[in-house]
Homo-oligomer: A and B are copies of this chain.
Amino acid sequence: MRKGAIQAPPEEEVIRRLEEFGRRIAESVLKGEEPVIEVPVRTLANTIWDEKRKLLVLGPKKALRSYFDIGESKKFMQTLLMLSLILRARREGDYPTIRDLYYTGKHTIYYIDEAGRRRSEETWDDQRESNSVIQDIEVAVNLLREHMGIMHDAKGKIVGNMVIRSKGYEIDLSRMGSGAYAIPPNVDKLEIVSVDAEYVLVVEKDAIFERLNEEEFWKKNRCILVTGKGQPDRSTRRMVRRLWEEFNLPVYVLTDADSYGFYIYSVYRSGSISLSYESERLATPGARFLGVAVSDIERYKIPKNFIIKATERDIKRAKELLSYPWFKESKAWVRELELFIERGEKVEIEALSGHGFKFLSQTYIPEKISTGSFLY
């Protein structure tokens, strides 16, 4: 793979794949066959942990949606409706949001039932239904929805010694001043022209990102600084993945020491259950957890009154994490999670500023990286 090249398939290819999907169905109708859509099943039961690749991926189960099966014909029609909307948008160069697609496709179908009564049915009742169909199309045509020009909220920010090209403009992410580059929905359409950095630092919290950016941490430490603002969205995850995959950069994730933070790390690293069909493109199996770790409470002498008592929900969540294979197979993580459950204590990143405002950037992060004290 050429380093940093555009990863999105060209528009014509997107249109071709969408048309091909529709053509197969049309042809079977014309041949007098039963029209059927084959879609990989996106349920927890069909989500498997690929131990070798360290990824949550979709299993082999596929569902056949037949137009003639009364229980499936609605989903069948929804899929074709959505396909036609997406294809129309691509042909006309539009960039609808997932909510736009929901509204555009939403209409009432009137029909006469077998008892002769006039009845009506909505094409879909809420956005969960239309989103689910978009996901079906994603897996069926093997394209991210971003590749299909579908828009959504984008939370991520990035700065560092790195040049990208987008819409013909070269953008130097080391020249954003006090601001940052807001990561666009379709990261694969960016060309990464050059990267001059030793690692990627992903911080959970936006305020910490702002602070490290204002201090020019990334310049002094030759790193790329990223935030996904809590639970990261697809675009932020895709950006981190590309930096790891195409530039072989180590990726460190910095979160609070609590179940929520641990899970955020694992989403960057292994993928999320609900988007397991995209892990291959979104997850960064090489990501490491920099902290804050429960063991840091002792190691960095976090004062007692900075420690927050874990709630029952935190503990319950930590026990769930312990049952996930991608935590379970790591001895270090099992120790960490057991320690968390045993102590029932959580700590925020900001608690480190008890040692001075410079402690996080001048001691904690560099020390953790240089001594290799991270979990994975």
Contacts and interface: CB of A to CB of B under 8 A. Distances in A.
Interface string A95-118: 111111011101110000000000
Interface in A327-357: 348, 350-351, 353-354, 356-357
A226 to B, nearest CB: 12
Interface stretch (A61-69, A149-157, A266-274): A149-157
A316 to B, nearest CB: 24
A35 B169 CA distance: 59
A4 B150 CA distance: 36
B179 A171 contact: yes
B358 A94 contact: yes
Contact of A305 (B92, B104, B107): B107
Interface stretch (A52-60, A137-145, A159-167, A365-373): A159-167
Nearest to A357: B94
Interface residues of A, number: 66
A184 interface: yes
Interface string A192-236: 000000000000011110110111000000000000010000000
A210 B152 contact: yes
A291 interface: no
Contacts of A205: 153
Interface-centre pick from A104, A177, A179, A303 (highest chain B CB count, 10 A):
A179
14 contacts: A95-B215, A100-B357, A104-B353, A104-B356, A106-B354, A108-B305, A152-B207, A154-B210, A168-B177, A169-B175, A171-B175, A176-B182, A178-B190, A179-B190
Interface of A: 88-89, 92, 94-100, 102-104, 106-108, 122, 149, 151-155, 157, 164-169, 171, 175-186, 189-190, 205-208, 210-211, 213-215, 229, 303, 305-306, 348, 350-351, 353-354, 356-358
Given A106-B306, A178-B185, A181-B181, 12 more contacts: A92-B358, A97-B211, A103-B354, A149-B214, A151-B211, A168-B177, A171-B175, A171-B176, A179-B182, A180-B181, A181-B182, A184-B213
